[in-house]
Amino acid sequence: MRIVLINPPYLAEERYGKDLAKLGPTSEPLGLAYLAAVLEQDGHEVFIWDAMVTPAIPRITSAISNADLIGVSILTPAYDAAKKIIRFVHSISDAPIVAGGAHVTALPEETLRDNPEINYAIIGEGEKSLIYLIQKGYGPGICQKGIFAERYTIEINPQTSHIDLISLPFPARHLLPMDKYQLTASRTQRGHSYTISVARGCPFHCTYCSRINGRKVRFRNMESILTELHYLIGKYDAKEINFEADTFTLKKSFVMNLCTEIIKSGYHKWISWTCESRVDTVDADMLKLMRAAGCWQISYGIESGNQRLLDFLKKGTNLAQIRKTIHLTEAAGIGIRAFFMLGIPTETQYESQQTIDFAKELNAEWTQFTLTVPFPGTEMYEWVQEHEPDRLSPNWSDYQTHAGWKGGPLAYVPQGRTTEEMCKLQRQAYRAVYLRPRSLRRHIKNIRWSTLPKYARGALALLKRS
């Protein structure tokens, strides 16, 4: 079969506003690349249209009009753009349309009702479900409206086990314009960074996370990861890697083995790498070995400087633990990106200020403040729908964590707060952290010719709205 997979446009300027757009990421759609690899392995001809970086040129419209099956990935804030793409596709092709992704997983029936052009919705991890759907005889003229997924009632996929990551081929990067992707400016040292997915699943209970990959944690084996790393170095001259996992440091033995193998193979002399983690899953020994293996930065989800709010989020961490981990990470020589949320449900003005003050105290090299977005499929979304339904926006395009920088509109505003206040708060939080003399001295010291553009853009964005 000829299959087209589509990543709808969700541009950096839409996410961050004009001032911050050039500092934001445009990441390769690894999920679609994995789907494409599995489909190619099954003998299909695959074309990926990443509308994030490529317009609808004739070559793309030709691929769509000649396709036997079309898949579309949908994120919540990109839902309106996805609807337009789906209608465009339907207007030039009779091929059945399959939708998947985070939004579809959270609201499958609503997505199908709202988009009559979609024939099937796939819930959760799609590699096994899509192959099963094709092999059971899904094709033009025989499609039935329904949900094709685990645990749903209209049509049940009998293959209910989680994806075995070891069995997956490497993502089909050859189908993507790899030179057009970049991570957030604060996550790279020398330019382009390539992402390697090393694990899926998360066992924690944070109320703001939808856990699209489930709670069961699965890791790839060392041989597979190192082979992919070797491929990226050989094919793309990769010098920076982002190891992707819901919580990279969840299993200490995995991290220690991976770092040991990276050092043993000599890759630590060639590449540097980053990851995301929790403050309660690292220790001094692990951090020391990670640094030796080339880790230069860890992104920690701190979320709040108020213990009541951390408990409300079911984060499972405390302020003392956070302080200790930040100290241990700095002592190991690893840089830190600290993530904070503002406007958590029930959060007061005083508690918002506590979070900003805590961020200043921790003094991470990079700090990110997002406005809280109760995404569908999360426990937080259910809480807000029950307790403050009038505070949620009905427009999915508003579900953006940096909407405050653009002046709104916002997905959610806590009871007793206003949109104007929350937008102002996000801007003030960034300026409070980055325009301190202590922070300015550090960043000026770290400026190199190669990093000057990103520092200049960030400074201009902060000062423009002062």
The full set of domain ranges for the chain reads 2-156, 183-434
| Tokens found for residue 253 | 């033995």
Sheet holding 2-7, edge to edge: 45-50, 2-7, 69-73, 97-100, 120-122, 146-149, 155-156
Pairing mode, strands 199-200 and 218-219: antiparallel
In whole angstroms, what is the distance from residue 120 CA to residue 300 CA? 37
In whole angstroms, what is the distance from residue 36 CA to residue 173 CA? 9
| Tokens found for residue 69 | 């099956």
Amino acid occupying residue 273: W
| Tokens found for residue 418 | 């206003």
Identify the bridge partners of residue 182 per DSSP, sorted by sequence position: 26
Residue 144: per-residue pLDDT = 38
In whole angstroms, what is the distance from residue 73 CA to residue 86 CA? 10
pTM: 0.91
In whole angstroms, what is the distance from residue 314 CA to residue 282 CA? 19
Q: Which CATH architecture has domain 183-434?
A: Alpha-Beta Barrel (3.20)
CA atoms within 13 A on the CB side of 43: 3
| Tokens found for residue 186 | 């604060």
3-state helix, strand, coil in the chain (%, to 5): 45, 15, 40
Compare 237 and 466 and report the one with higher pLDDT: 237
Percent of the chain with pLDDT over 90: 68
Q: What's the pLDDT tens digit per position in 204-260?
A: 999 999 888 888 899 999 999 999 999 999 999 999 999 999 999 999 999 999 999
Amino acid occupying residue 231: Y
CA atoms within 13 A on the CB side of 71: 28
Q: Which of 182-196, 370-384, 446-460 has the lowest mean pLDDT?
A: 446-460
CATH number of 2-156: 3.40.50.280
Q: What's the pLDDT tens digit per position in 82-121?
A: 999 999 999 999 998 999 999 998 998 899 889 989 988 8
Task: Inform me whether the pLDDT recorded for 304 exceeds 60.
Answer: yes
